[in-house]
């Protein structure tokens, strides 16, 4: 039982907030969510993160920013489901895949597909279909192939149990799914089976259902 008060600031539809929520759930850490929308930051938020990005976690009254930093900190707080392995090489591989998800997959799965298919239209703005097309046909295939090959003989990206690498990757693919897209199961069978496996985790099911309810409300 930890004594620190954990408060997460952010919006559940952000993949970086999603990764942090999944981490909190898998680590069985109690937390409170304070909604902060990325296109409507309150003035005081800059004191918590000068970059004005979500998520931020406050630990008692101390803020930490960046989902990667936050999740690595959270992993140290409980022994339930170690998300960064002890083995240094495996830990480095986990950080690599997390970085790959956050900086290579995110620009397409979230900032192109999710943004143009769902977010902008929900705000009454048109989505950029040409940008979507470019991501789907040109940018994403080599990235999906890379994941497909990595998952050829493995159920998880690193080792034989779930790590932060998997949470980072599924977080991006949930944005893709909210944008109405999924990898083609004929072309990427290992990747699709892997995503399906992660989608069945109770913490992912719960998170996905909550998000779908938010999406339905935003569509009205």
Ligand X SMILES: N[C@@H](CCC(=O)N[C@@H](CS)C(=O)NCC(=O)O)C(=O)O
For binding to ligand X (CB under 6 A), which residues are involved?
Answer: 14, 16, 38, 52-55, 66-68, 102
Nearer to ligand X, 14 or 116 (CB): 14
Positions of E strands within 60-149: 62-65
Nearer to ligand X, 100 or 188 (CB): 100
Which residues on adjacent β-strands are paired with residue 8?
33, 57
Nearer to ligand X, 105 or 192 (CB): 105
Q: How far is the CB of 37 from ligand X (least distance, A)?
A: 9
Q: How far is the CB of 36 from ligand X (least distance, A)?
A: 9
Distance CA 195, CA 113 (A): 18
Distance CA 105, CA 199 (A): 18
Which of helix, strand or coil describes residue 157? Answer: coil
Distance CA 83, CA 71 (A): 9
Nearer to ligand X, 68 or 112 (CB): 68
Nearer to ligand X, 58 or 68 (CB): 68
Q: How far is the CB of 70 from ligand X (least distance, A)?
A: 7
- What does the chain come to in residues? 220
Q: How far is the CB of 117 from ligand X (least distance, A)?
A: 15
Contact yes or no for 186/116 (Cβ under 8 A): no
Q: How far is the CB of 189 from ligand X (least distance, A)?
A: 29
Contact yes or no for 17/24 (Cβ under 8 A): no
**Region of residue 62 (phi > 0: left; psi between -120 and 50: alpha; otherwise: beta):** beta
Burial (CB < 10 A; 0-12, 13-18, 19+), residue 219, is exposed
How far is the CA of 187 from the CAs of 1, 101, 196, in angstroms? 45, 20, 15
Q: How far is the CB of 75 from ligand X (least distance, A)?
A: 15
Nearer to ligand X, 109 or 162 (CB): 109
Contact yes or no for 6/24 (Cβ under 8 A): yes
């Amino acid at each position: 039982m930890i004594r620190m008060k954990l408060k997460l600031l952010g919006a559940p539809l952000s993949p970086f907030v999603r990764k942090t929520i999944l981490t909190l759930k898998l680590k069985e850490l109690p937390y409170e969510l304070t909604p902060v929308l990325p296109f409507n930051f309150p003035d005081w938020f800059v004191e918590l993160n000068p970059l004005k990005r979500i998520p931020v976690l406050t630990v008692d009254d101390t803020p930490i920013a960046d989902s990667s930093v936050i999740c690595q900190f959270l992993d140290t707080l409980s022994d339930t489901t170690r998300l960064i392995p002890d083995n240094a090489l495996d830990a480095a591989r986990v950080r690599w895949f997390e970085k790959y998800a956050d900086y290579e997959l995110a620009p397409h799965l979230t900032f192109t597909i999710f943004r143009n298919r769902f977010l902008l239209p929900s705000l009454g703005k048109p989505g950029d279909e040409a940008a979507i097309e470019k991501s789907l046909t040109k940018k994403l295939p080599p990235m999906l192939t890379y994941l497909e090959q990595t998952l050829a003989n493995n159920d998880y990206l690193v080792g034989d149990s779930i790590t932060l690498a998997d949470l980072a990757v599924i977080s991006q693919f949930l944005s893709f799914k909210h944008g109405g897209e999924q990898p083609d199961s004929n072309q990427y069978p290992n990747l699709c089976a892997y995503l399906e496996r992660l989608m069945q985790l109770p913490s992912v099911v719960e998170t996905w259902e909550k998000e779908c309810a938010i999406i339905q409300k935003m569509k009205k």
